Amino acid sequence: MTTPHSRLSYLDPARPEPWASFIEQIDRVAPHLGKLSRWIETLKHPKRILIVDVPIVRDDGTVAHYEGYRVQHSLSRGPGKGGVRFHPAVTLNEVMALAGWMTIKNAALGLPYGGAKGGIRIDPRQFSRAELERITRRYTSEIGIVIGPDKDIPAPDIGTDQQTMAWMMDTYSVNVGHTASGVVTGKPIALGGSLGRQEGTGRGVFIAAREAGARVGVPISGARIVIQGFGNVGGVAARIFCEHGAQVVALQDAEGAIANPAGIDIPAALAHAATHGSLSGFTGATAVSEDDFWQVDSDYFVPAALEGQLTPDRAQRLRTRIVVEGANGPTTPAADDILGERNILVIPDVLANAGGVTVSYFEWVQDFSSFFWSEEEINARLESIMIKAFEAIWQTARERQVSIRTAAFIIACQRVLAAREQRGLYP
């Protein structure tokens, strides 16, 4: 039986500090903000941090306690928006950083949201479905004081899915006395979910890669792709890449890495992972070591797992032309510098993986209007928003002679801080 994890400080020196990476990214953009830099400290202080105890009765009758978080980084441009993560490594430090990146992502895409994030430090694989429901409902009740359709709208993330969102919506709705379908996104279609939502993030990764490749002469058709992470983001991206003529030559999930220079049969790999829970034992490729995985030759490398995976050491050894960040915060600032020195183009998370929150925005709008669009309409609107954002960020990078990441932060920080300045401080 899994025991609750002990409390971990968000300043735990033994763990990477994603919040420190976020702060460094904010500091790097400060010289480009002009008079708005007066307000930059706003971005270094989350607006609201809620830490909650999540007690449940387990199936064996014992009472267990788990630690949960909801961080609202900024609400200057609208209600908070960001996922809920169930993972054994969740810490407050991580959730703070993820909330900060959501602020930047939403602003960079022009979505009318601030940034938020939540999580519980559990391994969902160690709990029964009934236990996960109880954990989710208790967590939702505890954070219910800060979430709502016009306050803060959670969504799925690592370890959570549309069923989790259904439980969250129902719990919140019962507590407020009416059905509030817009309190979360990523719900089942029957409960007001949007077509195209589950594929949104992976599709956005593909769109970002395609737009980058078109500008630097690396077409998707015939390209070699390496993907770290084979869940909702990496799996969907892999399938769409292959549908457009690319070859996925290496994959990594939590159980290990595989490679096939002739190309991996992605439908077969997806079927295997769905049946067995991982890529372990898949016969359509050869198992490779972690070190070898990071040195497989590719045209596009897609980190789509956890933050902090692309370290300086891995950045020195990476053999690719374009990095397209499917995960949140996968590249440390020091690794970012190394990739730049090696002329490896990086399409940052705040642009590349924004497809999910964009379709979540569509879901939220559809819930408010009770009028739902076709999947073709969803995908067309996603293309339009992402291409427009990509072009603006690309042009800013060229004009300012900065990286794509810094350009995205310039645009986003200008929007967030302009809103902060115009709203003023009260009292």
What's the first-to-final CA gap in the chain, in angstroms? 51
DSSP annotation of 310 reads: B
Sheet holding 345-347, edge to edge: 286-288, 256-259, 247-253, 224-228, 300-303, 322-324, 345-347
Sheet holding 48-57, edge to edge: 48-57, 63-74, 115-120, 80-86, 152-156
- Collapsing DSSP to helix, strand or coil, 276 comes out as helix
Tokens of 334: 């020091």
Decide if 101 contacts 329 (C-beta within 8 A). yes
d(CA 92, CA 109): 26
Tokens of 273: 């992972």
Active-site residues: which are they?
117
Residue 356 has phi, psi (to 5 degrees) of: -65, -50
Amino acid symbol at 53? D
d(CA 262, CA 248): 9
Asked whether the CA dihedral 381, 196, 70, 18 is positive or negative, the reply is negative
Residue whose tokens read 């969902």: 124
